[in-house]
Amino acid sequence: MAKITFHGAAQEVTGSCHLLSTPALGEVLLDCGMLQGMRGKHKVSKKQFNFNPRSIDAVILSHAHLDHSGRLPSLVHDGFEGPIYCTEATSQLLPVMLLDALGLYENDLMRENRRLMRKGKPEIEPLYSKADVLKVFDLLKPIAYREKKQLGDGALLCFYDAGHILGSAIVELKFDDEGLQKTLVFSGDLGNKDTLLMNDPTLLQHADIVLMEGTYGDREHKSLGDTLTQFKEVLHQAFENGGNVMIPAFAVGRTQELLLYLGKLQMAGELDNWQIFLDSPMAIEVTQIYDQWLPTLDCEGVKPLCTGEQTLLKNFLSTLHLMVSAEDSMSINKISKGALIIAGSGMCTGGRITHHFKHRIWDSRNTLIFVGFQAYGTLGRILVEGAQHIKLFGDDFIVKANVETLGGFSAHAGQRELINWVANFKSFPKVVLVHGEPDALTALSEKLLHEHNIKAEIPILGQSIEF
């Protein structure tokens, strides 16, 4: 009988990693994501896997976000040599994501080893190297949406658009299990239908088991119209306050949506004279990839971007500045007002946004705007929950900047969209909820049972489910 074991994103939002075991396919890993937040804080030296990477026959990757892909280099380092199946756009994004993550990891490791050396303790050996990252790229097997790829003996893999970020996929895997044809569907991260850039998540109807994310299983998002109105008002008030705006944003997905919405506000004459700084080499590189794929995205309402005359980076936002070097980034510190800074990391766990906090978070004229989910234990979550003091670079900072949260920009489906997506299955599959905090998954499970008589399971880390 087929079995799936949950090695990450079980009653938590990060670290997506699920191991499918079947006689026909062997051992197949669905995602291999990095831990973030509290459980990821000591990842510099922590053992990465509770299974033998050498025994894994293949990886099926839902999308490029690091909480779904970030442990692939460690998997390779520990002996994995099989194919990594993903969509075409994901194969373009992964080099940007993983090489950037490597740089951050090496810096963290260097700092930790210096600390250990001062205490006379042995250095920590790296969990992976650049050679492992490059090997990941060699193992990638890109597949177009809706293309049926044969795996093993009679198994078929098909990706469908999940509408979350560029290249994000719903995984459909059909295989023979002791003479029975079985179908597993893994949602990956499902997108928010109320966006202007991404397509709606594909609806499927048949499966024996469905693994569905539940990040926002306990709440709905504001409508996009209401969110854009709030965004416009927050920006106008910030401009009137005579300060600057800081927006922590994920380099993949959120940054591109923000550029789109800022451009639309500017076109409508509803954006004050902000100088917009995209202060992230990674986000700039990712946006260049998005620009290549614009004709395949949901261009309704943003048709000029599909003509080639404009892109998110070209002839669209007249006051957009691309800040690549560290010197470029530091030059923003000289601007006392009128700067709107988009920088990573999205959950404020590091990156250039933390340097902007150092220079601005203590000034009440400035505004900090959160536009994405902040995982438990991250600095972003601490600020969203109202912290009045934070620690950065070994120093304490008082938080006087205005802190605003805009929920409608989420790249994840809200509760109602999740329910509608899984209720569309006609085959009464076993439903398993992953990638969500316990309260969110419990609320979603109760709604599914009450509204559709769907009894969803919520596994814990290390649990196995047969189907």
Query: What confidence category does residue 152 fall into, taking pLDDT thresholds of 50, 70 and 90?
Result: confident
Query: What confidence category does residue 108 fall into, taking pLDDT thresholds of 50, 70 and 90?
Result: confident
Q: Which residue has the higher pLDDT, 350 or 247?
A: 247
User: pLDDT tens across 7-41, in order?
Assistant: 999 999 989 999 999 988 999 999 999 987 655 55
* Angstrom distance (rounded) from CA 78 to CA 71: 11
Using alpha carbons, select from 305, 2, 374 the residue that is nearest to residue 176: 2
Query: What confidence category does residue 309 fall into, taking pLDDT thresholds of 50, 70 and 90?
Result: confident
**Residues 130-158, mean pLDDT to the nearest whole number:** 96
For residue 34, what pLDDT is reported?
92
For residue 72, what pLDDT is reported?
98
CA 21 from chain centre, in angstroms, equals 26
Q: For the chain, state the CA radius of gyration.
A: 22
Q: Which residue has the higher pLDDT, 349 or 80?
A: 80
Q: What is the mean pLDDT of the chain?
A: 94
| Sheet order of strands, 148-151 included | 148-151, 155-161, 169-177, 180-186, 209-213, 430-434, 456-457
* Angstrom distance (rounded) from CA 320 to CA 276: 5
User: pLDDT tens across 82-100, in order?
Assistant: 999 999 999 999 999 999 9
**Residues 178-185, mean pLDDT to the nearest whole number:** 94
**Residues 201-219, mean pLDDT to the nearest whole number:** 98
pTM attached to this predicted model:
0.92
- Percentage of the chain lying above the pLDDT 70 cut: 97
| 297 in Cβ contact with 199 (< 8 Å) | yes
User: Before 345, cis peptide (omega within 30)?
Assistant: yes
User: pLDDT tens across 224-267, in order?
Assistant: 899 999 999 999 999 999 999 999 998 999 999 999 999 989 99
**Residues 170-182, mean pLDDT to the nearest whole number:** 94
**Residues 339-363, mean pLDDT to the nearest whole number:** 94
User: pLDDT tens across 53-76, in order?
Assistant: 999 999 999 999 999 999 999 999
* Angstrom distance (rounded) from CA 176 to CA 53: 24
Query: What confidence category does residue 358 fall into, taking pLDDT thresholds of 50, 70 and 90?
Result: very high
Q: Which structure tokens are listed for 177?
A: 């299990």
Residue 213 pLDDT > 60: yes
| 175 in Cβ contact with 152 (< 8 Å) | yes
The dihedral formed by the CA atoms of 429, 412, 347 and 71, expressed in degrees to the nearest 10: 40
* Angstrom distance (rounded) from CA 26 to CA 171: 17
